[in-house]
Amino acid sequence: MQKKQQLDKLTVHLSVKLNFIMLLNLTIKNFAIVRHLDIDWQSGMTTITGETGAGKSIAIDALNLCLGERALTNVVRPQCKKAELTATFDISHNSAAKAWLAKYELTLTDNEQQNDCILRRVVSSEGRSKAYINGSQVPLTQLRELGGLLLLIHGQHDHQLILKPQEQRRMLDDYANNTVLRDEVSYYFNQWQQLTNELEQLQQNKQQREAQIQLLQYQVQELDEFNLQPDEFEAIETDYKRHSHAQHLLNESLQTIYLLSENEQFNIINSLQKAAETISTLSQVDQQLENVATLLNDALIPLEEATQDLKHYHEQLELDPEAFLALEQRYSQAVQLAKKHQIRPEDLPTFHQKLTQELTLISSDESRLNNIINEIAQAKQQYLLAAQKLSNARQQAAQVLSKQISDNIHELNMPHGQFKIQVTQNENQQPSLYGFDDINFLISMNPGQPLEAMNKVASGGELSRIGLAIQVILAEKIITPTLIFDEVDVGISGSTAAMVGKKLQQLGKNTQVICVTHLPQVASKGDQQLFVTKLTDGENTETKVVELNHQGRVREIARLLAGDAITDSSLANAKELLVR
């Protein structure tokens, strides 16, 4: 039962690993010397071979453009208006690509195609280009971002990348699955830096802030004492005008009352009443005057009401020198304060509130200055704890990975090679976004030689094989995008070539591998083999790519072994290579 459970677990594990991210199809139209190519790719390892100058890297060049590489005018086939390149990927197990597409709303809506991702590039003969993701036009920057999640291309000189400290750190963290720890370190580092920058800013502005606080305190105190309320100035202004013209208002209103109703010799109300009575009498003689009589009678009512209101107003008016003096002083003070702050007097309450808020805010900066030092100390402590956890994880992973890489490079014709990942905490634990570790890949190629940095002791070919060994190990630990190796096996042969082929084949069990090669030992390890040939009729040249069947593979590998003069011996050797 226990064995069965173990087998079941292994089957599940293998089924998950075999469903890796992969390139499904590449269509090329009018690109360089290609008129039309439609290539279907298989999972596992695909090898691309062909005669020298046939254009074995044409598919790689096309994929580079699909991933956002800068387009030149000479990429379009002569006598054609444009080149069109389309790459289709299966992203059913690529959560990063799915999340990216969802973020930019570029996911295909068709249920049957939701796991597909289609990159398309159109380049005109003038050099202008357009980029598309799942049918939507996008800028090249987005094509490059997404392309990095789908496919990685390794050229002949890309092994130089593993010499860079940041790449060595990334590889170790990927192997150790340190994503969560690394994110935690980055979070506390950013928090620490933000608080430190805030403290520096507060300290730099301290003297200026103290002077500003004194000014604001004086201004707010002055406005507090005056305490002008909203809409108060408008009321003061109205009362001030009335009090300052009180005598004139008394005199004129009294004269008007006298004119309207109090003058016994002549007043308007009595005169209007007499006129109304006269016209009313006349209207009994001539009905045409009835309307005039009505209007005169109607005019009497508002006139009498106005007279009564005017009398009431006159009675309420009074000359109060003390009240007027107090009113005049408040009015004058409001005008002076407004002039001092260069605002309108009616805006003083709003301005008062604004200064109070500024004083509260700037005073809180002083309080913040006292508290932030404690927060910085806490953030630093949290960062150091997280960085130490990350460092411990790296130390443990480095020991295991160092041994695995050493074992792998032994198989790649470096029998005495010793590989070590050195993880050291930098001096004074200098903080960074990635922790305080310095990570160095060291190697010794011969017995008795000390471990040194790879660039000092390893040749280009050795670096390439070390990089391949690392890729194989990482592919077993993490989900890796499709990997393309463009003649990275240059400069090796014999048993080393055979081991490189085996390693690439092993890598193909966990991720899709595409390898442009001239070595029969490598070509024979592919699950799929494509043959590139160049045809010409004397006027036009065209590159073709065909998928080889078993018999075709035998002949092509025999050609790689023996050259154009294929012999029975080379055919037998080719069959033997394909069987292994």
The least confident of 315-324, 474-483, 529-538, 555-564 is: 315-324
Could you list the residue range(s) of the whole structural domain that residue 231 is in?
210-360
Q: In whole angstroms, give the CA distance from residue 403 to residue 401.
A: 5
The answer to whether the beta carbons of residues 435 and 387 sit under 8 Å apart is yes
Going by C-beta distance under 8 Å and a sequence separation of 6 or more, which residues neighbour residue 164?
none
Gap between the Cα atoms of 106 and 52, Å rounded:
40
Query: Is the model's pLDDT at 122 over the cut of 90?
Result: yes
Residue range 400-439, pLDDT digits in tens = 999 999 998 888 888 889 999 999 988 776 788 999 999 9
How far, in Å, CA of 440 to CA of 502, rounded? 28
- Determine the pLDDT at residue 12: 35
More confident residue, 242 or 45: 45
Of the chain, the end-to-end C-alpha distance in Å amounts to 34
How confident is residue 3, by pLDDT bands cut at 50, 70 and 90? Answer: very low
pLDDT confidence bin for 396, thresholds 50/70/90 = very high
* pLDDT tens digits for range 559-570: 998 887 888 898
Which of the given ranges, 361-365, 467-471, 536-540, has the highest pLDDT on average? 467-471
Inter-CA distances, 331 with 219, 241, 275, 505, Å: 19, 10, 49, 94
Higher local confidence (pLDDT), 11 or 24: 24
pLDDT band at 4 (very low <50, low <70, confident <90, very high): very low
In a domain, 319, yes or no: yes
- Long-range contacts for 64-69 (Cβ within 8 Å, ≥24 apart)? 64/153, 65/31, 65/121, 65/123, 66/26, 66/119, 66/120, 66/121, 66/143, 66/147, 67/119, 67/143, 67/144, 67/147, 67/148, 67/150, 67/151, 67/153, 68/131, 68/140, 68/141, 68/143, 68/144, 68/147
Return the residue matching tokens 């990942």.
421
Both structure tokens of 284 = 């009994």
Average pLDDT of span 311-337:
76
In a domain, 258, yes or no: yes
Domain-located, residue 569: no
Please write the tens of the pLDDT for every residue from 473-527.
Answer: 887 777 778 888 887 666 677 788 888 888 889 888 888 999 998 899 999 999 9
Q: Does residue 335 belong to any structural domain of this protein? A: yes
Within a domain: 185? no
> Please, is 275 exposed, middle or buried when counting C-beta atoms within 10 Å of its C-beta (0-12, 13-18, 19+)?
middle
Instruction: Report whether 431 contacts 192 (CB < 8 A).
Output: yes
Low-confidence winner among 9-13, 51-55, 173-177, 250-254 (lowest mean pLDDT): 9-13
User: For residue range 264-287, what is the model confidence (pLDDT) as tens digits?
Assistant: 788 888 888 888 888 888 888 888
- pLDDT score of 322: 72
pLDDT at 17 over 60: no
Tell whether the model's pLDDT for residue 529 goes beyond 80.
yes
Evaluate whether residue 11 is within a structural domain: no
Angle at 399 between CA 393 and CA 402, to 5 degrees: 125
Q: Tens digits of per-residue pLDDT, 135-180? A: 999 999 999 999 988 988 877 666 677 888 898 999 999 999 999 9
The pLDDT assigned to 440 comes to 93
Please state the domain count of the chain: 1
Q: Is the pLDDT of residue 319 over 70?
A: no
Q: pLDDT exceeding 70 applies to what percent of the chain?
A: 89
pLDDT of residue 185: 95
pLDDT of residue 20 exceeding 60: no
Q: When comparing pLDDT for 289 and 205, which is higher?
A: 289
Higher pLDDT, 11 or 302: 302
Instruction: Find, among 98, 120, 159, 112, the residue nearest to 26 by Cα.
Output: 120
- How far is residue 275's CA from residue 285's CA, in Å, rounded to a whole number? 16
pLDDT higher for 528 or 238? 528
Q: What is the mean pLDDT of residues 193-213?
A: 76
Least confident of 115-124, 152-161, 462-471, 483-492: 152-161
Q: Is residue 317 part of a domain?
A: yes
- The mean predicted confidence, pLDDT, of the chain is 84
Band of residue 15 on the pLDDT scale cut at 50, 70, 90: very low
Q: Which of 85-94, 536-545, 562-571 has the lowest mean pLDDT?
A: 536-545
Supply the pLDDT for residue 14.
Answer: 37
User: What is the model's pLDDT at position 207?
Assistant: 63
Examine the pLDDT at 530 and tell me if it is beyond 90.
yes
On whether residue 337 sits in a domain, the answer given is yes
